[in-house]
Amino acid sequence: MMCTVGQVVHTLPEGRQVCGVASLADEVYVLRRKDHYQLEVYDVINYRLQRSLTVRNFCVFADMTSCEHDRCVYIAKDLAKCIHRLDVQGADTQWAVNDKPWGISVNAAHNVLVTCGEARKIKEFSSHGYLLRELTLPNDVIHPWHAIQTRNCEFIVCHGGRDDAVHRVCKISADGRDVIKSHGGQRGSDIGRYYMPCHLAVDDNEFVFVSDMNNRRVTLLSPTLDYVRRVVSPDDLKGKPARLCLDIHRRRLYVSENEYTEGRVVVFSV
């Protein structure tokens, strides 16, 4: 298991709101909400800006992830209800989701998992956008934000909108029908409670990092979803943590935080 206390090692430059962060090879990709959405690419050694890319088709973007196998990043477009794929060589394509995507991740089969919060579904696509399957989540999983698939094909899902009574992290069966285990419950700020757990990261031992946005912290859970400790505290952040990216090989956790129209990415050693 990784170290469970996060230490700040770097802070990327402040700028407009950050909509997503992903690591790919030796670079970190940061998606910012500007007049036209811009993808900033930094090296992972000195965190120097390498280049900036303008993402075509202005839209509201919800999340971003990467795939080492296919050497690309995927960007979820909320209002357009589609996924945008951008290869490191610069080629880009997109495909329709037909529901608003709130979160995306890549599973062990290199397929793209799209969490559709309003529809309460997880949709699995091939790397080129072919719909492979569609799962409807249990009735008590309201407003799911993000889902990650474990090695045994179960799902870790975080859910709970601003006004919902229940805010949890759940382990859900491979068919999407049953909640096997959960952590959280009634909205709150005490240990074991959340207020909009909106994004996840899972390490190679399946410990789970949870971005608890309105409590301004990141929590670490065991593979059985038992509380381990707080990894990132409000004292480490200026704004609300919205998106996580875990570089397992370098033991770095990238936390995007936003405050009003401004945002940045804080790098933690974990």
The shares of helix, strand and coil residues in the chain, as percent rounded to the nearest 5, are: 0, 55, 45
CA distance 138 to 157: 11
In CATH, which of 2.60.40.1120, 3.50.40.10, 2.120.10.30, 1.10.760.10 is domain 7-269?
2.120.10.30
| pLDDT < 50 regions, the chain | 2-3
pLDDT at 79: 83
Domain ranges of the chain: 7-269
As a residue count, the chain comes to 270
What Å distances lie between residue 100 and 62, 80, 92, 165, 231, CA to CA? 9, 8, 20, 22, 30
What pLDDT does 76 receive? 93
pLDDT in tens, 19-38: 999 999 899 999 988 656 68
Q: What is the pLDDT of residues 74-88, one digit of tens each?
A: 999 888 899 999 988
Phi and psi for 214 in degrees, rounded to 5? -75, -15
| Residue 150 bridge partners (DSSP) | none
